[in-house]
Amino acid sequence: HICKAAVGSTLAVKGCFTKIAVTPNKWKKVGLIAGGSGLTPCLQVAEELLSDGEDNTEITLIFCNQCPEAIFLKDHIDALVARSNGRFKVHYCVDKVSTGFFSDAWNGLTGYVTKEMVAEYLPAADGVNNMIMVCGPPPMYKALCGPKEFPKGKPPAQGELTGILKDLGFTSDAVFKF
């Protein structure tokens, strides 16, 4: 339809749909785990919180990609970190480090996100004071928090909390699946 539209024709679109209200100081700490293009909503959360001068939320992102060369928006993310006065921290994680330019210089995390990585780098479970948000490919959801549910004829649902985050003491009130 779009490809065959004539110049000057109009197209109706829907959105943006708020999936979770992100407001200043709603949480003490927010942990974000993004895989590839799953960065999009996580970056939106970080930028929203960092844009409010009254907000004190501490934000930590684990940004996962297949290899160092696949990390996109790194300059933008690093600039946000630099301007955050210590409120925003980022840990880059790659499946593997290929040989070449980046291999000798890589000092980030390697492998899939583990229970140990989450425990070391992200906020600990603290009731509803700390929030973990996840967006990435299905295997990432399965390992970290369990899949979302897609009931026929209804909007997507969060689904049961399972995996690493449940094992670390998080509850469904403290985990959000984009």
Tokens of residue 150, six digits: 């897609």
Closest CA to 37 of 110, 176, 140: 140
pLDDT confidence band for 2 (50 / 70 / 90): confident
Residue 20: CB atoms within 10 Å? 13
CB 64 within 8 A of CB 113: yes
- Could you give the C-alpha distances from 147 to 20, 104, 121, 123, 144, in angstroms and in order? 17, 36, 23, 21, 9
Tell me phi and psi for residue 60, to 5 degrees: -130, 130
Tokens of residue 35, six digits: 């895989």
pTM higher than 0.95, yes or no? no
CB 45 within 8 A of CB 131: no
For residue 62, the cross-strand partners are: 33, 91
pLDDT confidence band for 12 (50 / 70 / 90): confident
Distance from C-alpha of 133 to C-alpha of 123, rounded to nearest angstrom:
11
Identify the pLDDT of residue 117.
Answer: 98
Identify the pLDDT of residue 103.
Answer: 60
Residue type, 8: G
For residue 29, the cross-strand partners are: 58, 130
Q: Average pLDDT, whole number, for the chain?
A: 93
Residue 39 in this model has a pLDDT that exceeds 70: yes
